[in-house]
């Protein structure tokens, strides 16, 4: 059976649209990191549908996780982040079905903040995002983003303070019976 020129163009058009859809979703993922890491709440929220959701999966032993819905709340959530952070998001594995798409993207997240004493608190997390996208009049948008952690570590850097010892130029009085303090 011979394929007509119009059929070839229609097939080419479908293939091109599939590539464009995929590239647009990749661009959303790149913009997601840049906007969130820069605390640009309105830009980050605009990547979601009007009723879009960002949430985390609750695991036994974890504290309550985030559930944020709607662009206004998403913008405030991003803009009010108490930490400086960076996302390393792998290329997502995308499945597209008409105007709906899903993807899984592995990630590493690093965040740094300071406590009331000026000490640096660092968080590192690894996991994946399960994401549902929808084609809207604005283009592809995130309908729901679900965070699943494999590992999450937090620590405090006390830092090095180049200062004199608290005893000045001499040791405190010596007591041979005092023993020692073990703080391991």
Question: Would you state the pLDDT for residue 29?
Answer: 95
Amino acid 1: pLDDT: 63
What pLDDT, on the 0 to 100 scale, is given for residue 160? 63
- Mention every residue, 6+ apart, whose C-beta is less than 8 A from residue 130: 102, 103, 104, 145, 146, 148
What are the structural domains of the chain?
Answer: 5-157 (3.10.450.50)
Mean pLDDT of successive 10-residue stretches along the chain, which has 184 residues: 87 93 96 95 98 85 81 95 92 96 97 86 94 98 94 79 62 74 58
Contact 44, 74 (CB under 8 A): yes
Q: What is the pLDDT of residue 58?
A: 72
Task: Locate 3 and state its tokens.
Answer: 């394929």
C-alpha 123/C-alpha 108 separation (Å) is 10
Detail the DSSP E strand segments found in 37-90.
Answer: 48-56, 67-69, 84-89
pLDDT of residue 165: 58
């Amino acid at each position: 059976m011979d394929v007509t020129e119009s059929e070839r163009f229609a097939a080419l058009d479908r293939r091109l649209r599939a590539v464009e859809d995929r590239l647009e979703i990749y661009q959303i993922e790149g913009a997601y990191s840049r906007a969130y890491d820069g605390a640009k709440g309105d830009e980050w929220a605009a990547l979601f549908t009007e009723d879009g959701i960002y949430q985390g999966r609750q695991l036994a032993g974890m504290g309550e996780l985030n559930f944020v819905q709607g662009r206004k709340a998403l913008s405030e959530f991003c803009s009010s982040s108490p930490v400086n952070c960076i996302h390393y998001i792998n290329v997502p594995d995308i499945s597209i079905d008409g105007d709906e798409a899903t993807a899984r993207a592995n990630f590493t997240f690093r965040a740094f903040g300071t406590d009331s004493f000026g000490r640096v608190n660092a968080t590192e997390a690894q996991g994946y995002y399960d994401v549902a996208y929808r084609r809207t009049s604005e283009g592809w948008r995130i309908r729901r983003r679900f965070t699943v952690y494999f590992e999450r570590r937090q620590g405090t850097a006390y830092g090095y303070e180049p200062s004199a010892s608290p005893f000045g130029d001499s040791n405190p009085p010596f007591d041979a019976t005092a023993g020692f303090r073990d703080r391991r």
